[in-house]
Amino acid sequence: MRGFLVSSIGVTCAAALALPLTPPALAATARPVPAAEAARPAPHAGTPATTPTGRRTAEPSVAGSTQSLPLEPLTRDRATPSAPATEQGLPRRAVRHFSLVGVVWDDPDAELHGRVQVRTRTAGTGTWSGWQDVETHNADHAADPDTPERASGRVRGATAPLWVGDSDGVELRVCSESDGSAADAAGPASGARNLPAAPPLPSGLRLELVDPGEDDAAAPGAEGPRAADALNAENSAVTEASAVNADLAPLGATEIGALSRAETEQEYLALDVGGLTERQRQAKPYVGPRPGIVTRRGWGANEGLRESGFRYTKKVKAAFVHHTASGNNYRCSQVPSLIRSIYRYHVKSMGWRDIGYNFLIDKCGKIYEGRAGGVAKPVLGAHTLGFNSNSMGIAVLGSYGATKPSKSAVKAVARLTAWKLGLYRVNPKGKTYLKSAGSNLHRKGKKVRLNVISGHRDGFKTECPGRKLYGKLGSARSQAARYQGR
């Protein structure tokens, strides 16, 4: 995230936020709201916070919810009052409980050139946080152009999500900045008159407040009364998501257990991924021992949220490593809630068919199943714009631009890739070619030579997976190759 720029724009934004503001009533969302969500009234500003236990008892829904609040202009140019506002936000207000925030807008191809900052009130204590930056450059995490998922008409532009923990108050500011502002701020002062005009903010800006709810798998139908066919469809989706892993674990398992090398080699022959030749069956396989993987049922996925069915690519030739840019202020015991929040944000707020990543890894080194379709299968994700085909996306939960990833997380990346790439007979220290579907780094149709284990920035001009995590990918490649017995 770029540092805040000292400019006339920044001064104007700060001045606007310094004005006394009376919190208005909670704005209604323009999108349909689930019945149970609508049934919960928003508290008035100043309402004492309740404890998480008391809140869960009082609320009719434990399956999670999203509050979607339209932003308001904070300032306007007096000379041209009809011009689009370059500062939008929301004054401090009380809201229903939430744990993750993000900002979305109408056009997925529009970019937000500026800075997004949020502060939140901790539930139970009433303590307000300082201003926190929300990563604005998130368009590179997306389905490929010209795919049904991208062309669904539901996809929106969005910031990265930010995990803030259980909260019941929020304040937001979004300030537009020109592309040249950074250069002007770094160079000699030349007067505000030389600063380029700030571009307009994208239309339809909304603040998304996500409550992950409790373990959704344990509360089918918790979002309110629904028809029997809807409940049956959700139960069918739960069974479907588990059945695709039936070769690896019992139906309904919350975790796919780790295997020894010998057990993994037997599984490798039984799975017969891609169709083994007789020569390949006789040769010793280069496949790492299968690591333990928490299933979607294990982290409490509400299978009724995602689009039904699965989408696959042909094979897995590469793994793209990401960070979620959602902050590092989480405990490993909170990870199921964090993943449920990201899942809901990807589907309900951003309009994707499912969570975008194929796998997620926490800072304690635990591996989680991401997009539904089967952990051993070539599931088509929405993680690396232009290179989702014939690849998989692994997201390390957190932000790793300035923070080093844990050794446990890097080891988990190595263990996961040694196994999954091994099933497809791919060397994690090798190179491969992928055909670009179009990105800001590689034109559509170009065959690009990449490391088998690449960072997101290798396929798209982006900071992801953060400088510190990207610097550990060489170590992950070497470890993965050793796990494969190379």
DSSP string, 296-347: HHHHT--TTTSPSS--B-S---EEEEEE--S-S---GGGHHHHHHHHHHIII
Read off the pLDDT band of 172 (50, 70, 90): very high
Q: How far apart are CA 456 and CA 463, in angstroms?
A: 8
Q: Is the peptide bond before 465 cis (omega within 30 degrees of 0)?
A: yes
Q: How far apart are CA 57 and CA 4, in angstroms?
A: 42
Task: Provide mean pLDDT across the span 395-405.
Answer: 97
Residue 246 pLDDT > 80, yes or no?
yes
Q: How far apart are CA 221 and CA 242, in angstroms?
A: 18
Q: How many C-beta atoms lie closer than 10 Å to residue 213's C-beta?
A: 24
Q: How many C-beta atoms lie closer than 10 Å to residue 79's C-beta?
A: 6
Distances (CA, A) of 44 to 39, 56, 172, 208, 306: 15, 19, 18, 19, 33
Q: How many C-beta atoms lie closer than 10 Å to residue 280's C-beta?
A: 14
> Residues 468, 471, 477, 483: what is their CA dihedral angle, to the nearest 10 degrees?
-50
Q: How far apart are CA 322 and CA 456, in angstroms?
A: 6
Identify the residue with better confidence: 15 or 407.
Answer: 407
Cα 285 from chain centre: 34
DSSP 273: T
> Which stretches of 101-255 are DSSP H helices?
181-186, 228-243
Q: Which helix (H) or strand (E) holds 431?
A: strand 431-435
Identify the residue with better confidence: 125 or 52.
Answer: 125
> Residues 474, 476, 478, 479: what is their CA dihedral angle, to the nearest 10 degrees?
160
Identify the residue with better confidence: 1 or 228.
Answer: 228
Task: Provide mean pLDDT across the span 197-207.
Answer: 91
Residue 451 pLDDT > 70, yes or no?
yes
Residue type, 484: Q
Read off the pLDDT band of 5 (50, 70, 90): very low
pLDDT tens digit sequence for 303-357: 999 999 999 999 999 999 999 999 999 999 999 999 999 999 999 999 999 999 9
Q: Which residue do the tokens 């790492």 mark?
A: 288
Residue type, 147: T
pLDDT at residue 138 in the model? 66
The token pair at 422 is: 């091994």
Lowest mean pLDDT among 29-33, 158-162, 376-380, 465-469: 29-33
Read off the pLDDT band of 43 (50, 70, 90): very low
Read off the pLDDT band of 7 (50, 70, 90): very low
Q: How many C-beta atoms lie closer than 10 Å to residue 180's C-beta?
A: 12
pLDDT at residue 205 in the model? 97
Average pLDDT of the chain is 83
The token pair at 124 is: 């139970």
pLDDT at residue 478 in the model? 97
Residue 54 pLDDT > 50, yes or no?
no
Q: How far apart are CA 315 and CA 427, in angstroms?
A: 14
Read off the pLDDT band of 41 (50, 70, 90): very low
Identify the residue with better confidence: 442 or 470.
Answer: 470
Residue 191 backbone zone (phi > 0: left; psi -120 to 50: alpha; other: beta): left
Identify the residue with better confidence: 252 or 49.
Answer: 252
Read off the pLDDT band of 193 (50, 70, 90): low
Task: Provide mean pLDDT across the span 172-183.
Answer: 74
Read off the pLDDT band of 444 (50, 70, 90): confident
Q: How many C-beta atoms lie closer than 10 Å to residue 183's C-beta?
A: 10
Q: Which helix (H) or strand (E) holds 12?
A: helix 8-18
Q: Is the peptide bond before 202 cis (omega within 30 degrees of 0)?
A: no
Q: How far apart are CA 449 and CA 374, in angstroms?
A: 27
The token pair at 357 is: 């990543």
Task: Provide mean pLDDT across the span 141-155.
Answer: 80
DSSP 472: T
User: Percentage of the chain with pLDDT > 70?
Assistant: 77
Q: How far apart are CA 306 and CA 313, in angstroms?
A: 19
Identify the residue with better confidence: 344 or 15.
Answer: 344
Q: Which residues of 29-64 are buried (b: 16+ CB within 10 A; e: fewer)?
A: beeebbebbeebebbebeeebbeeeebeeebebbbb
Identify the residue with better confidence: 222 or 425.
Answer: 425
Residue 232 pLDDT > 60, yes or no?
yes
- List residues bridging with 294 in a β-sheet: 255, 368
Q: Which residues contact 444 (CB under 8 A, 6 or more apart)?
A: 145, 386, 436, 437, 438
pLDDT at residue 251 in the model? 95
Residue 198 pLDDT > 90, yes or no?
no
The token pair at 279 is: 């020569």
pLDDT tens digit sequence for 273-294: 888 889 889 898 999 999 999 9
Q: How far apart are CA 318 and CA 389, in angstroms?
A: 10
Task: Provide mean pLDDT across the span 136-147.
Answer: 74
Residue 33 pLDDT > 90, yes or no?
no
